[in-house]
Chains A and B, each alone.
Chain A
């Protein structure tokens, strides 16, 4: 069973490099091998989940036991995100039947492999390698359209991402020089003695800013509007929906396991608040759908950072709920934006031309704002109750900003909804009104169905998330799972 788990990283990686070669000999095999690999990955994870997965496992790679070897750490949280990666990789697969798409498909497989690695890896430097791999795949996919704007946007993203990787490497060097290990479980054991000091805090800040580039953290998110405006909508949906969450997951793991200090949480809280303010206000001002969604996702991730900053892991459930909620909603909204790009004014009267698209937009908007029966309400409700229970003024400021941001969100989303349902101007022809169509509408309705299903099954979903959160919070469980011998022989 455990060897199978390595395959969900190894197979997409292998496929990514074989695909261009396969393409030359047989088009048909090459076109179907990518989706087949992803479906197999989904099946492995689903099989593991259904066959009574309760205790987390640690998979040592190459037969070297941690802390010397690299290990994969598989708990329900990691498994959930790994499954989401494979599934969304399939959903956002670039289905086209030409020679040009071979490169895009192999880059997509590379992105999936790296993202799965980000979800599962239990070694700090291994995480850095997967992070860079995901970055390279993203650069290739973002510049695939070949326009000058796409190249400039990609280069600016590359430089920012390069700064991020330099800082991450710096942080890793600091940690290694202090502790002499890079295994997360081993670090978690050593951290209370060796890393809860100013050096550990410096290392955490460097890694936070470094990884934060992908998580759209406040000062390092200038790439977001440019990339989302120039790259294909499917890539934007994958980046905004999933890759940002994986970066978030890494920061969360580091915070829980290694840098469990109030100062670290405070920095995250402040950056989160600034992210919410800047993102939501910029989204309110945006006059174009894709850029509006890009800025709004900065704001949403800021909210998740606020939740992450709550002391003693109280925000864990909120982080999980908000992340998954944002994953579904933003992916759906980006799929709608595929055909609804361009100035918002152009969309006037689109509800008549594509009623299903408009209904889905309203559904997503309502859930994002937090209308009671929809899952967005519960996610936000958990965060609000936890924030309100805090006494420190900074958390209350976070609460105030959070509530204000919800109002701003409602304002700009319903402005679009009103435009959709407004009557078109007299002089526009009906052909000029953009319609949602075909594949993107189908994908968006898939996410819409997901939202409704979660809304109906909110009680079991909530219980499940609570269990996952509790398991992720258990640092001792992490340590004993990875290295049973070291931790006093409880096994």
Chain B
């Protein structure tokens, strides 16, 4: 049963697409500010999804303007929920940006890897313990012993 492309279907696809784009952005971007922006996109998708949950195309906004009741009104509950969710989302975004400013002040970078590197280094320094995972000193033995110097010369383009 392939029905025609309705506006509702398009909006549902848009909502899920926004969430997917946002989540992908959080995972893939290498800049902390872009991660926050991607989160904003994902939240927009979730909010759209919530609005769609109670929306009817043949109905009016749930506001009583006269004594006479209109034929059909849109479900007001999801709209109230979305308002709450938007407010919460904006609050958290503001908090995230303020934390970003502090990170920028402390570390002078917003690169994801660099910031994580410096955080690991700082944690290790304050705790006085070696880092659990480190690029420079991997745990355990080397899989193969390093080649002696003379053998390195033999295989390369020796002069």
A147 at interface by CB-CB < 8 Å = yes
Q: Which one, A135, A151, A159, A173, contacts B49 given CB within 8 A?
A: A173
Q: Does A288 contact B (CB under 8 A)?
A: yes
Q: Is the CB of B128 within 8 A of A152?
A: no
Contact of A172 with B by CB under 8 A: yes
The residue from A125, A152, A158, A170 contacting B119, defined by CB atoms under 8 A apart: A152
CB distance from A93 to the nearest CB of B (A): 23
Q: Could you tell me if A173 and B52 are in contact, using CB atoms closer than 8 angstroms? A: yes
Instruction: List A contacts of B85 (CB < 8 A).
Output: 128, 169
State in angstroms the CA–CA spacing of A140 and B99 once bound together: 10
Of the listed stretches A310-318, A339-347, A404-412, A469-477, name the one at the interface; the rest are far from the partner chain. Answer: A339-347
Contact with A along B45-78 (1 / 0, CB 8 A): 1110110111000000000000000000001011
> For the complex, is B92 an interface residue (Cβ under 8 Å from A)?
yes
Contacts of A153 in B (CB 8 A): 119, 123
Which residue in A149, A151, A174 is a CB contact (below 8 Å) of B126? A149
Residue from B78, B92, B106, B123 within 8 A of A229 (CB atoms): B123
A286 within 8 A of B: yes
Pairwise interchain contact B92-A132, C-beta atoms closer than 8 A = yes
Q: Which of A129, A177, A230 has a CB less than 8 Å from the CB of B53?
A: A177
Chain A residues with CB under 8 Å of B95's CB are 136, 139-140, 158
Interface residue B132 (Cβ < 8 Å from any Cβ of A): yes
Is A352 an interface residue, CB under 8 A from the partner?
Answer: no
Q: Is the CB of A290 within 8 A of B127?
A: yes
Whether the pair A288, B106 counts as a contact (CB closer than 8 A) is: no
Question: Shortest CB–CB separation between residue B121 and chain A, in angstroms?
Answer: 8
Residue in B77, B84, B129 whose CB lies within 8 Å of A287: B129
Would B88 and A132 count as touching, CB distance under 8 A?
Answer: yes
A143 to B101, CA, bound (A): 13
Min CB distance B53 to A, Å, is 4
Q: Which of A162, A225, A290 has the most CB of B within 10 A?
A: A162
A340 to chain B, nearest CB (A): 11
* Interface: A163 (CB within 8 A): yes
Cβ–Cβ contact A166 & B91, under 8 A: no
Q: Is A291 an interface residue (CB 8 A)?
A: yes
Cβ of B96 under 8 Å from chain A? yes
Q: Is the CB of A158 within 8 A of B128?
A: no
Q: Which residue of B lies closest to A156 (CB)?
A: B116
A437 at the interface (CB under 8 A from B): no
Partner of B45, one of A166, A172, A286, A346: A166
Per-position 1/0 for B95-137, Cβ under 8 A of A:
1100110110011000000011011001100111110100000
Contact pick for B127, options A159, A170, A288, CB 8 Å: A288
Task: Determine whether B154 belongs to the interface, using a CB cutoff of 8 Å to chain A.
Answer: no
Please determine whether A136 and B92 come into contact, CB atoms closer than 8 angstroms. Answer: yes
Q: Count B interface residues, CB 8 Å.
A: 48
Q: Say whether B75 contacts A180, CB under 8 Å.
A: yes
Q: How far is the CB of A433 from chain B (nearest CB, A)?
A: 13
How many whole Å from A428's CB to the nearest CB in chain B? Answer: 13
Contact of A169 among B50, B52, B116, B118 (CB under 8 A): B50
Minimum CB distance partner of B55 in chain A:
A177
Q: Is the CB of A343 within 8 A of B119?
A: no
Q: Is the CB of A287 within 8 A of B130?
A: yes
Contact indicator B119/A226 (Cβ below 8 Å) = yes
For A230, list chain B residues within 8 Å (CB): 119, 123
Contacts of A176 in B (CB 8 A): 50, 53-54, 77-78, 81
Which A residue sits closest to B46, measured CB to CB?
A169
By the criterion CB–CB under 8 Å, are B119 and A173 in contact? no
Which of B45, B50, B118 has the largest number of chain A CB atoms within 10 A? B50
Whether A155 lies near B39 (C-beta < 8 A) is no
Q: Which of A125, A162, A343 contacts B128 (CB 8 A)?
A: A343
Give A132-144 as 1s and 0s: 1 = Cβ < 8 Å from B's Cβ atoms.
1001100110010
**Contact A129 B84, beta carbon cutoff 8 Å:** yes
Interface pair B52/A155, CB less than 8 Å apart: no
Give which listed residue, A163, A169, A282, contacts B26 with CB less than 8 A.
Answer: A163
| CB-based contact B129/A162 at 8 Å | no
**Bound-complex Cα distance A343 to B126 (A):** 10
Q: Please give the distance in Å from B68's CB to the nearest CB on chain A.
A: 23
Q: Is A196 an interface residue (CB 8 A)?
A: no
Whether B46 pairs with A152 at a CB distance below 8 angstroms is no
Residues of B within 8 Å of A151, CB to CB, are: 99, 102-103, 106
Whether A291 pairs with B132 at a CB distance below 8 angstroms is yes
Q: Shortest Cβ distance from A154 into chain B, in angstroms?
A: 6
Of chain A, the residue at the smallest CB distance from B54 is: A176
A341: chain B residues within 8 A (beta carbon): 127-128
> What CA separation (Å) do A147 and B26 show in the bound complex?
24
**Of all chain A residues, which has the CB nearest B117?**
A152
Among B32, B36, B42, B118, the most chain A Cβ lie within 10 Å of the Cβ of: B42
The answer on a CB contact under 8 Å between A154 and B26 is no
A285 at the interface (CB under 8 A from B): yes
Other CB < 8 Å A-B pairs besides A151-B103, A153-B119, A343-B129, 16 of them?
Answer: A148-B102, A148-B103, A152-B115, A152-B119, A158-B96, A159-B35, A159-B39, A166-B43, A169-B49, A173-B50, A177-B52, A182-B81, A285-B139, A291-B127, A342-B129, A346-B128
- 22 example contacts (A-B, Cβ-Cβ < 8 A) are as follows A125-B84, A132-B88, A136-B95, A140-B95, A146-B102, A148-B102, A148-B122, A149-B118, A151-B99, A152-B107, A152-B115, A162-B39, A169-B50, A172-B81, A174-B53, A230-B119, A285-B139, A286-B132, A342-B127, A343-B128, A343-B129, A343-B130
Interface residues of A (CB under 8 A from B): 125, 128-129, 132, 135-136, 139-140, 143, 146-149, 151-156, 158-159, 162-163, 165-167, 169-170, 172-174, 176-177, 180, 182, 225-226, 229-230, 282, 285-288, 290-291, 341-344, 346
In the A-B complex, the 9 residue pairs with the closest CB atoms: A148-B106, A288-B129, A177-B53, A149-B122, A343-B129, A169-B46, A152-B119, A173-B49, A342-B128
